[in-house]
A and B are shown apart, each in its own frame.
Chain A
Amino acid sequence: GENVEQHPSTLSVQEGDSAVIKCTYSDSASNYFPWYKQELGKRPQLIIDIRSNVGEKKDQRIAVTLNKTAKHFSLHITETQPEDSAVYFCAASRRGQLTFGSGTQLTVLP
């Protein structure tokens, strides 16, 4: 089955700096890669996703890049704000079933 590895497990940045979270996947047939944000005690919520036929996607301060050859994808958050503090999960999907990474606790320091 699919295996998704996510790094780092914790990340602290100063407000206004950028944050990068990286994931690798094992199944070359995976074709959809969403990123979820989960605030403490809340449900995961989709923040951005990318499909295997696209190399990069951007939505305001967040962007995702995908390298299919190397089987890795990354989340980039620019101009971080305190409200960006949360746990972020990457995932890889084949036929609609998601395999999640273990999560990154992002802390934005004021």
Chain B
Amino acid sequence: IAGITQAPTSQILAAGRRMTLRCTQDMRHNAMYWYRQDLGLGLRLIHYSNTAGTTGKGEVPDGYSVSRANTDDFPLTLASAVPSQTSVYFCASSDSFRDRGHNEQFFGPGTRLTVL
């Protein structure tokens, strides 16, 4: 693995189904983030994790949950998908402990999710 990866690349999902988006990084970054990107709204933070074992809510957390069991993985779960969760989801990571958080976030390639 080189950098940050996401799976699946795309998914069509029936409303009400449970779905987990996967994110893995091999850069040993302490911080990881999930964003959703909708046309005209930019990227909005869903959840974040500053270190393994801790998570926090972002701007739009409702309907989503995350876990951070180890440094490398940060899965995002939709417990019961709804059409308004149709979006492109980006995972990102950063070495936020270095230089007081003034650090580049590296983004994964994204997952395009359609909820019907």
- The total of chain B residues at the interface (CB under 8 A) is 25
Interchain CA distance A100-B45 in the complex, whole Å: 9
Name the interface residues of A58-95: CB closer than 8 Å to any CB of B.
Answer: 89, 93, 95
Does B31 reach chain A (CB closer than 8 Å)? yes
- The total of chain A residues at the interface (CB under 8 A) is 24
Does A97 reach chain B (CB closer than 8 Å)? yes
Does B94 reach chain A (CB closer than 8 Å)? yes
Q: Please name the residue on chain B nearest to A95 by beta carbon.
A: B101
Most buried by A among B33, B35, B103, B109: B103
Does B77 reach chain A (CB closer than 8 Å)? no
- B→A interface (CB under 8 Å): 31, 33, 35, 40-45, 48, 50, 58-59, 90, 94, 96, 101-105, 107-110
**Interface pairs A-B: 4 shortest CB-CB:** A96-B101, A96-B96, A43-B107, A100-B42
- A→B interface (CB under 8 Å): 1, 6, 9, 31-32, 34, 42-46, 49, 51, 89, 93, 95-103
